[in-house]
Amino acid sequence: MEPIAFQKIYTHISQVTKATCSLHATGVGNEEMALVNDRLAQVVKIEGDLVTLQIFSGTEGIPTDSEVVFLGHAPQLPVSEELCGRFFNAYGHPIDGGPEVEGQLVEIGGPSVNPVRRKQPSELIATGIAGIDLNNTIVTGQKIPFFADPDQPYNQVMAMVALRAQADKIILGGMGITNDDYLFFKNVFENAGAIDRIISFVNTTEDPPVERLLVPDMALTAAEYFAVEKKQKVLVLLTDMTLYADALSIVSNRMDQIPSKDSMPGSLYSDLAKLYEKAVQFPDGGSITIIAVTTLSGGDITHAIPDNTGYITEGQLFLRKDTDIGKVIVDPFRSLSRLRQLVIGKKTREDHPQVMNTAVRLYADAANAKTKIENGFDLTDYDKRAMSFAREYSEKLLAIDINIEIDTMIDTAWKLFGKYFSYAEIGIKAELVEKYGTINQHKN
């Protein structure tokens, strides 16, 4: 990142705020990168010859006579096979002690895919977790976040999903993750012997928060390279998007923009959508699938960050500790994979959709029965059966430590239906019951 010899050096900054500085300069392009006393910065506003730069690492200690050099390009990343197995910071510089990557320089945050050049996602990603595969099947080209409380093991679950899913590349974008979590990911990836199909861009809590704004675009630019040029199946993990959005609000706040709900910038929806919409299935087999984490505060999903995310992503996954069995499950009520209907019953057995729906409905009946107990009411025979069913359903299917094939999941569900319920109670199409079920038609 050394300035090139003939580049003009400016040495007079006329204004400094918490996040930005302004100076008179000409011939500067919008969104161009610059160095301010060797700190990376980006052009965010041009008015006449007054140029405003956002300094990623903050403006503390920036003197008015700093040396400012414009680099003539937007943030970029060199892309090539050399990215594999490497760890980078938010600027795309190695943090693993290895050499700089050689490759074609690509501007990050590039153009969108023409929607008519996309293909409808139709390939399921098996994870072995019934809470996902059976109830909320994920599909290549999908974007889906975990909505998680900060104390939940979301990074662990995400790493597990990533390793089980058969992706050609896994690209981690870590934003404001703790150093411990960074080392956790590094460890799991290395131990799984998967390191050479993994690329990581990491901004930890020790790095300046505004820098993390570059992380998702870095990760997605690398993803586009492998999905487009190499036609690979790429899985991108983004954690934690809430911290990304917080960084957006810091910047907009420091630039005196009018905040909308929850002090978030009015453009939050578009900002997040630009990233998530990089998820894509190409006709020639390449794909980008995004699994993200959005941490919640106090479980509130109406907060602007999860709310806008929910409006963008194709469903969301919730983790929950099932107190009956003392294990973490993927919550069957609140979780939803919107793209599941593209594959269930089509790429999986035809009875999958109805079996899934029925099991969740019966699980809901058990939850109602529990409320009844809490309110001091008596349980009917049906309530009791529903509760026994729910317990076993949780234990044999939902617990995330279970790793089985989808057909086995469906068969297990049928067995539980037969064990606890009658034909009328499960309400599944007669022809499916005949073909796959083990339900007593007359038991009532």
Partner 1 sequence: MATTGKVAGIISNLVMVKVDGPVSQNEICYIHFAGVKLMAEVIRIGALYAYLQVFESTRGLKTGTEVEFTGHLLEATLGPGILSKNFDGLQNDLNKMEGIFLRKGEYTHPLEPYKLWEFKPLAKEGDTVVAGSWLGEVTENWIPHKIMVPFILDGRYKVSKINSEGSYKIDDIIALLIDGKGDEYRVTMVQKWPIKIPIKAYREKPRPFNFMETGIRVIDCINPIVEGGTGFIPGPFGTGKTVLQHALSKQAEADMIVVAACGERANEVVELFSEFPELDDPRTGRKLMERTTIIANTSNMPVAAREASVYTAMTIAEYYRQMGLKILLLADSTSRWAQALREMSNRMEELPGPDAFPMDLPAIISNFYARAGYVRLHNEKTGSVTFIGTVSPAGGNLKEPVTEATKKAARCFYSLSQNRADSKRYPAIDAVDSYSKYLEYPEFIEFVSQTIAGNWIDQILEVKNILIRGNEAYEQINILGDDGVPIHYHEIFWKSEVIDFVILQQDAFDKIDASTPIPRQKYMMDKVLEVCNTAFTFNKFEEVNPYFKRIINVFKQMNYSEFQSEPFSNYEEELKSIINEKRKTEEQAV
Residue 89 to residues 237, 388, 433, Cα–Cα distance (Å): 15, 50, 54
Question: What part of residues 313-342 is at the interface with ligand ATP (CB under 6 A)?
Answer: 338, 341
- In angstroms, rounded to a whole number, what is the distance separating the alpha carbons of residues 148 and 145? 9
**Cα-flanking dihedrals φ and ψ of residue 14, to 5°?**
-95, -20
Residues that bind partner 1 (rule: CB under 8 A) add up to a total of: 79
Give one DSSP letter per residue of 39-91, joined into a string: EEEEEEEEETTEEEEEETT--TT--TT--EEE-SS-SEEEESGGGTT-EE-TT
Among partner 1, ligand ATP, none, what binds residue 429 when CB lies within 5 to 8 Å by partner kind? partner 1
- On whether the CB atoms of residues 326 and 188 are closer than 8 A, the answer is no
- On whether the CB atoms of residues 223 and 84 are closer than 8 A, the answer is no
Residue 313 to residues 117, 126, 262, 307, Cα–Cα distance (Å): 20, 19, 20, 10
Residue 164 touching ligand ATP (CB under 6 A): no
- Which one of the spans 11-19, 203-211, 233-241, 353-361 is the region binding partner 1 (CB under 8 A)? 353-361
Among partner 1, ligand ATP, none, what binds residue 361 when CB lies within 5 to 8 Å by partner kind? partner 1
Among ligand ATP, partner 1, none, what binds residue 151 when CB lies within 5 to 8 Å by partner kind? none
- Which one of the spans 12-20, 87-95, 271-279, 400-408 is the region binding partner 1 (CB under 8 A)? 271-279
Q: How far is the CB of 199 from ligand ATP (least distance, A)?
A: 30
Nearer to ligand ATP, 3 or 310 (CB): 310
Question: What part of residues 14-43 is at the interface with partner 1 (CB under 8 A)?
Answer: 26-32
Q: How far is the CB of 307 from ligand ATP (least distance, A)?
A: 10
Among ligand ATP, partner 1, none, what binds residue 441 when CB lies within 5 to 8 Å by partner kind? none
Nearest to 14 by CA among 56, 50, 60: 50
Q: Of these, 98, 180, 311, 373, which contacts ligand ATP (CB under 6 A)?
A: 311
Q: Of these, 61, 97, 115, 193, which contacts partner 1 (CB under 8 A)?
A: 115
Site string for partner 1, 69-88 (x = CB under 8 A): -----x--------------
CB atoms within 10 A of CB 21: 24
- Which one of the spans 33-41, 112-120, 174-182, 194-202 is the region binding partner 1 (CB under 8 A)? 112-120
What Rg value do the Cα atoms of the chain yield, rounded?
25
Q: How far is the CB of 239 from partner 1 (least distance, A)?
A: 21
- On whether the CB atoms of residues 402 and 434 are closer than 8 A, the answer is no
- Which one of the spans 8-16, 320-328, 425-433, 435-443 is the region binding partner 1 (CB under 8 A)? 425-433
CA angle 224-219-57, nearest 5°? 140
Ranges of H-type helices in 192-240: 215-224
- On whether the CB atoms of residues 52 and 46 are closer than 8 A, the answer is yes
Nearer to partner 1, 23 or 402 (CB): 23
Residue 4 touching partner 1 (CB under 8 A): no
Residues that bind ligand ATP (rule: CB under 6 A) add up to a total of: 4
Q: Of these, 205, 360, 411, 418, which contacts partner 1 (CB under 8 A)?
A: 360
Name the closest residue to ligand ATP (Cβ).
338
Nearest to 242 by CA among 318, 311, 376, 150: 150
Residue 349 touching partner 1 (CB under 8 A): no
- On whether the CB atoms of residues 215 and 203 are closer than 8 A, the answer is yes
Ranges of H-type helices in 292-429: 304-312, 352-374, 381-393, 406-420, 423-426
Q: How far is the CB of 50 from partner 1 (least distance, A)?
A: 9
Among partner 1, ligand ATP, none, what binds residue 104 when CB lies within 5 to 8 Å by partner kind? none
- On whether the CB atoms of residues 73 and 3 are closer than 8 A, the answer is no
Q: How far is the CB of 236 from partner 1 (least distance, A)?
A: 15
- Which one of the spans 127-135, 149-157, 272-280, 385-393 is the region binding partner 1 (CB under 8 A)? 272-280
- In angstroms, rounded to a whole number, what is the distance separating the alpha carbons of residues 278 and 280? 6
Question: What part of residues 281-310 is at the interface with ligand ATP (CB under 6 A)?
Answer: 310
Q: Of these, 5, 99, 117, 323, which contacts partner 1 (CB under 8 A)?
A: 117
- In angstroms, rounded to a whole number, what is the distance separating the alpha carbons of residues 148 and 153? 8
| Interface residues toward ligand ATP, by CB under 6 A | 310-311, 338, 341
